[in-house]
């Protein structure tokens, strides 16, 4: 487990944490409540305990076509966000060792 200390404006910190929590290879185990460290510059600090799970770096994606066939491909560093109920956005990287 690792300790991560994040400092920035509240929107910066929240955006970063949201991005971090959507990554499958990182599990946020615990996070503290934001504490103001610089009222003049509106800086907050959050302490987190995270687990890095490199085995989760690759995700196998399966798409089903309208005629029932399946397309399988691996994605690295997947970020999955549910846009609305039942609608998900997946982003990631594909590498081709032969190109």
The predicted-structure confidence for 42-97, as pLDDT tens digits, reads as follows 899 999 999 988 777 788 889 899 999 999 988 888 888 889 998 989 888 887 77
pTM of the model: 0.58
The predicted-structure confidence for 23-32, as pLDDT tens digits, reads as follows 878 899 998 8
Q: Which pLDDT band holds residue 4 (cuts at 50, 70, 90)?
A: very high
Note the pLDDT of residue 99: 66
Note the pLDDT of residue 67: 94
Q: What are the DSSP calls for 72-97, one per residue?
A: EEEEEEEEEEEEETTEEEEEEE---T
Average pLDDT over residues 15-19: 91
Average pLDDT over residues 9-21: 91
């Amino acid at each position: 487990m690792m300790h991560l200390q994040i400092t920035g404006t509240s929107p910066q910190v929240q955006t970063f944490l949201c991005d971090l929590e959507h990554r499958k290879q990182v599990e946020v185990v615990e996070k503290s409540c934001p504490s103001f460290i610089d009222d003049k510059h509106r800086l907050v600090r959050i302490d987190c305990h995270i687990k890095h799970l490199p085995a989760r770096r690759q995700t196998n994606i399966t798409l089903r076509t309208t005629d029932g066939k399946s397309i399988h491909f691996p994605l690295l560093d997947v970020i999955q966000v549910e846009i609305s109920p039942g609608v998900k956005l997946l982003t990631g990287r594909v590498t081709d060792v032969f190109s």
